[in-house]
Amino acid sequence: MSNSNNVLIIGAGIAGMQASLMLAKAGKKVVLVEKLPIIGGNTIKNEESFPNLECSTCMVAPVQQDVLQNDNIEVMTLSEVKAVNGQVGNFTVTINKKARYVSLTECIGCGACYEPCPVSLQNEWEENLGKKKAIYVPCDGSLPNVPAINSGHCLRLSGKKSCNACAEACMFGAINFSDKDEQVKIEVGAIIIATGFDLYGGKLLSAFGYGTLPNVYTSMEFERLYASNGPTSGELLLRKGKKLPDSVAIVHCIGRKELGYCSGVCCMYSFKYAHFIKDKLPEATVYNIYSDICVPNKSYQSFYNKIKDSNSTFIFQSAPDIVQIAGNNGKLQVKLTAGKGSKNSLNVDMVILSCALVPAKTSKELADILGIERDRKGFFQTRKGYIGTVQTSVDGIFTVGCAEGPKDIEDSVIQAESAVGEVFSLLG
């Protein structure tokens, strides 16, 4: 086991960061690879995390600070794993590092370079609800607080015009247009995959009018509306029509039938939305269209009871994901399958689709690179015949968090900590 002291962790979400901190504190050298320019993963996208509605960014920021300031952790942002060979205790990994064009040591994140940049793009980190410049940080409070330049759209880097606006504005000469992509080879003893999840969405939601009806939102879009550092800094401004909604329908279990699994967390984040809407707009009426209430943790039921009692109406639908949504002169009509006593349709200003959690887009390619099996849902498969393990089909490679299957933050962190346990059993 020549370099049994180094570990590669793919994905810098809450699970990846927790695992790297624990390994680093125990003296292991960790390489943390993250495809975005910032670390924090999906957790920092939501404003509050259930069940005690703690501010997610305030909870995660100290963890991010620890990761960035820990000498044993080498953070590689804008990077992706390209090839892995060797076996446990001796993997050689090639990583493609995209150029950031801004020096991580020189820049202090003062933000003087954003304003002069002439290019304006859709900010996909904000679910395209906000705009960003060619030189950008995904959101306020990003860590590392250093921008990156989108070489495809930057006038100078894409060769359209010899623009130098950001470099002139920078007091510290931190911008370096001659920065190059590079490929790095490292030797590690074990690999932990913590690439998280994506949201069931896109074209599959067209049946619910998403994309055509402006005031239909996916849950991640609503999270960004909800976020105080988001595009609307916490105001529930609708895309079209009146500014603030008077009535909102939250439809649970979107994608459950088609994917064949319940994600276990959508009920809880839907209740979080109901709580936030009633808090922000006390007069608004909130409809929760649900089938099963899935509250699989000792603290979750009491949060559900609080929502149930705080006058937000619950409408049972045997299969919520077959409701039809149609525009009705400015409002949205949600057609329900008439049950005894329940109305057959609702007229609301806004619909939130609580979408299921699906494997990250990169999972297929990563599975081939690592040579590990994926289960029939597309998540990474843990070793057959073992109960309660995070080891994949290949020795020395572990999968934690939503990369292994949909789960809440608590279970993701528990899996990350158990992966550290298994790494030490394996490498010593």
Partner 1 sequence: MSTKIGIYICECGPNIADNINIDEVIERISSSEDYKNKQLIIKPYKLLCSNEGKEYLEKEIKDNELTHLVIAACSPRDHEITFINICKKTKLNPYLYKMVNIREQCAWMIPDKKKATEKAISYIKAAINRVLHQSVLIEKQLDSNPNVLVIGGGITGMETALSLASKQRRVYLVEKNSILGGNAQSFKNLLPRQENNTDLVAKKITAIQENENIEVFTDSKLENAVGFFGNFEVTVKSTKKDQTANEFVVGAIVLATGFALMPTEKLKKHAYGKDDNVYTALEIEQMMKAKGKIVLKSGKEPKSVGLIHCVGREDRGYCSRICCNYMLKIISYLKDQSDTILIKDFYKDLCLPHKYDQEYFDTMAKKKVDFIRISDITTKKTHITYTEVNGSKKEADLDMIILAPAMVPAEGTEELAELLNVPLHPTKFFQEAHSQLNPIGTSLEGIYIAGGCHGPQGISESVLQAKAVQGKIVTQLIPGEKIIPEVKVSEIIPDFCMGCQTCREVCCYGAITFDPERGICVVNEAICRGCGNCVGSCPSGAIRAKHFTTIQIHQEMKEAIS
Q: Quick one: 195 or 215, whose CB is closer to partner 1?
A: 195
Quote the longest CA-to-CA distance of the chain: 69
Host H or E run for residue 277: helix 266-280
Gap between the Cα atoms of 193 and 156, Å rounded: 36
Distances (CA, A) of 89 to 125, 224, 370: 36, 41, 14
**Which window, 33-41, 119-127, 307-315, 408-416, contacts partner 1 (CB under 8 A)?**
408-416
**Cis previous bond, 320, omega within 30:** no
What are 163's two structure tokens?
């623009």
Which of 99, 207, 293, 369 is in the footprint of partner 1 by CB under 8 A? 293
> Which residue, 149 or 413, is less far from partner 1 as judged by CB?
413
Comparing CB distances to partner 1, the nearer of 243 and 298 is 298
Contacting range for partner 1; rule: CB under 8 A; set: 153-161, 193-201, 276-284, 414-422: 414-422
Q: Which long-range contacts (CB under 8 A, 24 or more apart) does 340-348 make?
A: 342/315, 342/316, 343/315, 346/247, 346/249, 346/287, 346/315, 347/247, 348/245, 348/247, 348/248, 348/249, 348/287
- Say whether residue 48 binds partner 1 (CB under 8 A): no
- Judged by CB under 8 A, the chain residues 165 through 204 that form the site for partner 1 are 171-172
Asked if residue 417 binds partner 1 (CB under 8 A), the reply is yes
Picking from 58, 14, 50, the residue whose alpha carbon sits closest to that of residue 266 is 50
Q: Is 38 in the site for partner 1 (CB under 8 A)?
A: no
CB of 388 to partner 1, least distance (A): 3
Please tell me whether residue 317 binds partner 1 under the rule CB under 8 A: no
Rounded (10°) CA dihedral 276, 277, 280, 281: -160
Which residue in the set 23, 190, 220, 236 belongs to the binding site for partner 1 (CB under 8 A)? 23
Please give, one letter per residue, the 3-state secondary structure of 380-402: ECECCCCCCCCEECCCCEEECHH
Q: Which span (2-10, 31-39, 49-57, 306-314) binds partner 1, by CB under 8 A?
A: 49-57
Q: With binding defined as CB under 8 A, does residue 18 bind partner 1?
A: yes
Quick one: tokens of 92? 């050689």
- Candidates 102, 295, 336, 351: give the one binding partner 1 (CB under 8 A): 295
User: Is 413 an interacting residue with respect to partner 1 (CB under 8 A)?
Assistant: yes
Say which amino acid occupies 105: T
Shortest distance, position 418 Cβ to partner 1, whole Å: 3
Output the smallest distance, CB 341 to partner 1, in A.
6
Is the bond into 214 cis (omega within 30 degrees of 0)?
no
Q: Find the binding residues for partner 1 in span 81-120 (CB under 8 A).
A: 105-106, 108, 110, 112
**According to CB under 8 A, which residues from 213 to 272 bind partner 1?**
256, 260-265
> Shortest approach of partner 1 to residue 124 CB, angstroms?
26
Q: How far apart are CA 392 and CA 371, in angstroms?
A: 10
- For the record, the structure tokens of 186 come out as 């490292």
Phi, psi of 325 (to 5 degrees): -120, 130
x/- mask, partner 1, residues 338-367, rule CB under 8 A, reads -xxx--------------------------
What 3-state DSSP class applies to 51? coil
Say whether residue 40 binds partner 1 (CB under 8 A): no
Stretch near partner 1 under the rule CB under 8 A, chosen from 185-193, 209-217, 238-246, 336-344 = 336-344
- Residue from 181, 235, 375, 395 in contact with partner 1 (CB under 8 A): 375
Question: How far is 303 from 275, CA to CA, in rounded Å?
Answer: 10
Among 224, 271, 300, 336, binds partner 1 (CB under 8 A): 300
Q: How far is the CB of 339 from partner 1 (least distance, A)?
A: 5
- Cβ 410 to partner 1, closest distance in Å? 5
Alpha-carbon span 12 to 411, nearest angstrom = 16
Record the tokens describing residue 30, joined without a space: 């960790």
Closest to partner 1 by CB, 40 or 406: 406
Binding status of residue 410 toward partner 1 by CB under 8 A: yes
Question: 63: part of which helix (H) or strand (E)?
Answer: helix 56-69
Helices 300-309 and 266-280, packing angle to 10 deg: 40
Residues 379-398 within binding reach of partner 1 (CB under 8 A): 379, 384-385, 387-390
Least distance from C-beta 179 to partner 1, angstroms? 19
Handedness of CA 347, 352, 356, 359 (dihedral sign): positive
Work out how close the CB of 263 gets to partner 1 at its nearest, in angstroms, rounded to a whole number: 8
